[in-house]
Chains A and B, each alone.
Chain A
């Protein structure tokens, strides 16, 4: 079994069967010191926050997790990679889930996905795996279909969904790693994080670090969409140039005015900066962005960035779980204040109201939805400041397609 070479690692099996999976990647060794392996590998989470996987796992292992969850909820409309991974490489995710359960002593495991079809396929593959596993080693694994909405993937929302409650966030006074599903310590990893973990257990941390950057080794799945010729999911190494991702998706259809990196809770990289930007923390940080869950949304010159952003802000306001007052009342007001800037001849002082509203929602909810929305809006004000001025003069900088 030769380890994958290059930047394509996760989607190499001939088909989705267990046989093809074993054929390409070989049998899984669970007798590994997973925490040490991950520490050396430097694997970071692929769900958005980019937290070191070893730290999360070590905490869960020392505390003893009762439950592990593979998070494939992916509520982000501009992301498709978790769906793609569960569809094309289910066994890598299930291997990773098994490893995480072994390392923490968890007795039950869950895979969360919004797709009933994917869930059905996963259940079939799970049944197949159970037939092949020695009974005493068996981990009880269930597939849970979660609602397809923006906040479904938040950890405490998953816990609620697994327990059969509405999948909306809980108050975080007690974190789920202390008390989650059925009041047991619960470890949640993104499905892609688990797939990488399954590869690291097989091929080692040195192999894992052979691509990517020192700070963020390995590869990640990027969803490239927007004004590109062939939107889709591509695996690239951490630190890859942003233009390489855009080219992988067939190239821009009307130039690159700006690129939204990290999804709707992410930030804009202005077009002028795109050629010199790489998919790394250090290169993205000046724009307030991070690789996050690998979302890359390209905005062409034929669209108004301000108008598009106002649309996204309004969508985000509508995605509130409607539990926390400042989110329920503040996000619509924030979105409206941004939309006001789109109107021709708007007073430039209106920007102050947008900034004020971001400050009013930040940190005032059970989950990070208000904070993420505020980050996106602030980034919009920065990236499209010339557009705001143009709209103030009654114009618009978008160049209509020919």
Chain B
């Protein structure tokens, strides 16, 4: 199953991913994405994840596998 990967060295906590993918991501007290579960992407979530990848201003998200 494809998986969402967060590049923590790039992420600056803008938070767009959590807006677009609330099923998987919340935000911590500093604004950084906080995975709610494993970041596996089923068919239902894949499209939302792709939007999140495209929306990240720091290119910190990737879909792997």
Interface residues of A (CB under 8 A from B): 169-171, 173, 323-327, 329, 360, 363-366
Chain A residues near B47: list those with CB within 8 A. Answer: none
Chain B residues near A329: list those with CB within 8 A. Answer: 30
User: Lowest 10 CB-CB distances: which A-B pairs, in order?
Assistant: A324-B8, A171-B7, A323-B9, A325-B32, A366-B9, A173-B5, A171-B9, A329-B30, A365-B8, A366-B8
**B11: CB under 8 A from chain A?**
yes
Does A171 contact B8, Cβ atoms closer than 8 Å?
yes
Pairs across A and B, CB under 8 Å, 8 listed: A171-B7, A173-B5, A173-B62, A324-B8, A325-B12, A325-B30, A326-B28, A327-B8
Interface residues of B (CB under 8 A from A): 5-13, 28, 30, 32, 34-35, 62, 64
Does A325 contact B11, Cβ atoms closer than 8 Å?
yes
Contact A324-B28, Cβ < 8 Å, known A173-B62, A173-B64: no
The secondary structure that dominates the A interface is loop
A169 to B5, CA, bound (A): 16
Distance in Å from the Cβ of A165 to the closest Cβ of chain B? 13
Does B9 contact A364, Cβ atoms closer than 8 Å?
no
Chain A residues near B10: list those with CB within 8 A. Answer: 171
Chain B residues near A363: list those with CB within 8 A. Answer: 35
**Nearest residue, chain A, Cβ from B31:** A325
Chain A residues near B35: list those with CB within 8 A. Answer: 363
Does A173 contact B7, Cβ atoms closer than 8 Å?
yes
Tell me which of B5, B8, B12, B64 contacts A364 (CB under 8 A).
B8
**Nearest residue, chain B, Cβ from A328:** B30
A170 to B9, CA, bound (A): 7
Tell me which of B5, B9, B64 contacts A324 (CB under 8 A).
B9
Chain A residues near B62: list those with CB within 8 A. Answer: 173
Distance in Å from the Cβ of A144 to the closest Cβ of chain B? 22
Does A325 contact B13, Cβ atoms closer than 8 Å?
yes
**Nearest residue, chain B, Cβ from A168:** B9
